[in-house]
Amino acid sequence: MPLVAALAAALALVSSMNGATLVAEYRYNGNLASSAGGAPALVSVDPLGLNAFVTDVVNGQTQQVFNWVGNAVPVTQQAGFTLDTTGLVVTNSYSVEMIFELTQREGQWRRLIDVEDRQSDDGFYVNPGNQLAVYPIISSLTPFTNNVYEHVVLTVDGGTISAYLNGLQQFSGTSTLMDIQFSRQMGFFIDNVVAGGQGEFSNGSIALLRLYADVLVTPSLSIIRTSTNSVVISWPSPSTGFTLQSTTNLVSPIVWSAVFPAPVVVNGQNAVTNPVSGTQEFYRLSQ
């Protein structure tokens, strides 16, 4: 059967979902201010003076993004930004959601998030296998692709770290390595300036950053073929703010459309039943 579930169960998440409350949101519309009240602005790390807001195509839509530009070595020339999390989240219970692309060092370590004031090689990375990883203990299997805007979610839950790529969980493991340390600064894309493994940096652009208090749980999408030449697409109910969408082509620019008929609730699941056709179709949940 040529019908396939899209590898994107939840590309964007509502401000309060399964106990996770949105505390900061950055859309890079010409500034680094948060659209969620009370959160501080991001601080640009820009030693070369090349960081800038530019226009790019993100998942088929033209929008403004923040482009950071630096050099991997010396580490003092790396670029990115920082966020002061003081008063926003508990140090060992938070979630980060990002839509971004990396443009360099494919097949090498690239830092995504640092929570130790750049004083340690530990952190959240893309590893040399081009997979999401918390160094040195956990890694995933699904490839992370350079020069493509990827949707990444990291959750930290009192000693459990989980990561998602385009809606699919990549790993979940026991560790405190992503507990926010020292000054409560969270660094994005900048590598450590002391200890081993320096220079693990890539230029790139970011379209969206959200910080949540507590753990963000994404609804999972399921597709099952029936004995009546149809398929049932289902996901947990309620999933407030999520809409089922489909497309027949995953080549950019991707055009997603709402799926009809409207879902019905069956045994605690939102369910849509569609006939099987000869056309390849991909599905996602989106908000």
Residue of 280 and 9 predicted with greater confidence: 280
Residue of 4 and 175 predicted with greater confidence: 175
pLDDT of residue 156: 96
Run of H or E including 81? strand 80-84
b/e map 76-94, b = 16+ CB within 10 Å: eebbbbbbbbeebbebebb
pLDDT confidence tier of residue 218, bands split at 50, 70 and 90: low
Phi, psi (degrees; rounded to nearest 5) at 76: -70, -10
Secondary structure of residue 172 in the 3-state scheme = strand
Instruction: Round to whole Å and give the CA distance between 58 and 77.
Output: 27
Residue 225 has pLDDT above 70, yes or no: yes
pLDDT confidence tier of residue 3, bands split at 50, 70 and 90: very low
pLDDT of residue 69: 98
Alpha-carbon distances of 280 from 6, 142, 249, 251, 262, rounded to whole Å: 11, 22, 8, 13, 21
Each residue of 18-61: pLDDT tens digit?
Answer: 447 899 999 999 999 999 878 999 999 999 999 999 999 987 78
Instruction: Round to whole Å and give the CA distance between 212 and 97.
Output: 8
pLDDT of residue 143: 92
